[in-house]
Structure 1
Amino acid sequence: MPTTPHHTAGGVPIATDQPSAAPPRSFLISVVLPCYNEDQVLRRTHDRLVRALHDLPHEIVYVDDGSTDGTWPLIQQLADTPGSVVRGVRFSRNFGHQAAALAGLAEATGDAVVLMDADLQDPPELIPSMAELWFKGWSIVSARRATRHGETQLKKSSAYLYYRLLARLSDQPVALDTGDFRLLDRKVVDFVTSLGEKELFLRGAISWTGFPETSITYERDARGAGTTKYTLRKMLALSRTGILAGAASLPLRIPTYLGAASLLGAGAALARGSVRRAAPLGAFGAQSLACGVLGEYLLGVFRQVQGRPPYLVMERTESSHGTTAKASAALVKELA
């Protein structure tokens, strides 16, 4: 599996000789996995995680996003299994992948936090390589998808076009072909979790911070089991959130551009002495689009001022055979 590094800052390529730092004497890596009805694959995911993290002091944080299968009982079993420190968080209902990822970041206590999916499309074996780049001083290490196995051509094509549209519209550069699989330094995690946005688009928020970022390329595997939980409706909702959150200024200017274009078109039609039958429909469509854009922003403002939390935690579980503090202390003693 290729792990070619591509060094970026906010998604823009930069020199590969920066930054550079000595590895920390002691550290703890948290791995956060949002889960929604993943009981068919979660144990395999956990076993691969434990093997991949064998030489790294770590904790594993599972966030059950309102699963209706046996995901939560399985997380409780994993927490009682010796070998790794496991903590689980259970939502009161399904709040969505982005909310689960945000909750995991807030729960994680590590000096670096790896965010990844639980369905084995994101290979845990990449984490040590990501940690090595973090040791060199990179604050963000993203995993860029070279190929996407097990997905339809429509999904691949739409994802390819979406990331490039998002990059063109966003006020800040964004990493192309990069999902949520990435390592974040503690200072990045603290900043992102303190933003207080009700509909946080994590990928855009992370790129917006501007912390030094690099990436490694990998081949994304097919799901280990089950079916994707990202329905068309959820993908469209995430795309809308990403564009509106990243393209902060351009959408607000669309009504101005449409109005100017409509006036120019109307003037040209009057100069020719003819008005096409399609003109009224075109004007109505432009007005509807403009109102729709404004409506999306007003909806975002409404949800923000409501003050409701992005998720509700109903239950927590934690390994009884150890704590993250004990794991970190053991490493300090070993390195002293």
Structure 2
Amino acid sequence: MPVTHAHVHEHADGTVHSHYHTHPGGDVAHEHAAASHDEIAFDQGSEAHAPGAIPEHSHATTTSIKPPLEACDLAYTYPHQEHSVFSGLSFHVHPASMLAILGNNGAGKSTLLDLLAGITKPTAGRVLIDGEDASALSRKEMARRIAYVAQQQTVPHLSVYDEVLLGRKPHISWAVRPVDREVVSRALVDLELEQFATRFCDELSGGERQKVFIARALAQEPHILILDEPTSALDPKNQLEVLEVVRRVTHEAGLASVLVLHDVNLALRFCDHFMLVRDGEVVAVGDRSVVTGEALTQTYGTPFKIVEVDGVPVAVPA
């Protein structure tokens, strides 16, 4: 049976790479270490703001506390195109909260996540991480503060324990320390993965794998957790389990979590704040009250209405 080893390397420019090597005759998979970040409030000209969310023009005393994640007049233009997406976008995100980004296909949701995580540089404006300009932070420092779980993940022939241990790379100078193993063990417990620690990742179900990737992100001990479509390709049971885990660790660890979701009703069930986007323009942002039939209709280009089922708002086609 092929055996896979994980190796982590830090380059001179601070870039951190993890490599999987399979012997004998196995493929070699390469995966860049990722990053994660915290919670939300917006200033997009909308009058609706979530409770606790602080518009940029507010003079509330809480503005003296630097939010973990802040976008300042953010704009991005795709190469060889003239039209900007998210022109003048300003908001900040606070800990222990989940922000759902909802929008039509091609709205720029994943691009926004890349901008927030420092993977893509904005055309204008800047992203602040704990009050510091993200462009001034090394990739290693970004990885200590932000964990990013991408939509597409390489599934290595690694044990669950070793895969989660890779999340410690931003904190390891040379050898794995007892504290690193303690963090990994805690992440496995948080995600209820202890019984899978010695199993190989490519032997797990889709929902179990997604929990492993989230556990690896938590092992980074980030301030901010960014998830791009964490429930894609999962059945309803696993969708609920994964988002319940994300909500629990977000609140318990005080994370600012930002999620791109396609299912409006899952977002309404689990998230605290919402950003509705259509073709790079913000339609609405705020708490659950901004997710109206009118806003959803404008966002997706098809009629929606909101009804209540057992006191819970549900979005249905009109």
Q: Same fold (TM over 0.5)?
A: no
The alignment's TM-score, normalised by the length of structure 1, stands at 0.24
Q: Which has the higher strand share?
A: 2
TM-score by length of 2: 0.25
Which of the pair is proportionally richer in helix?
A: 1
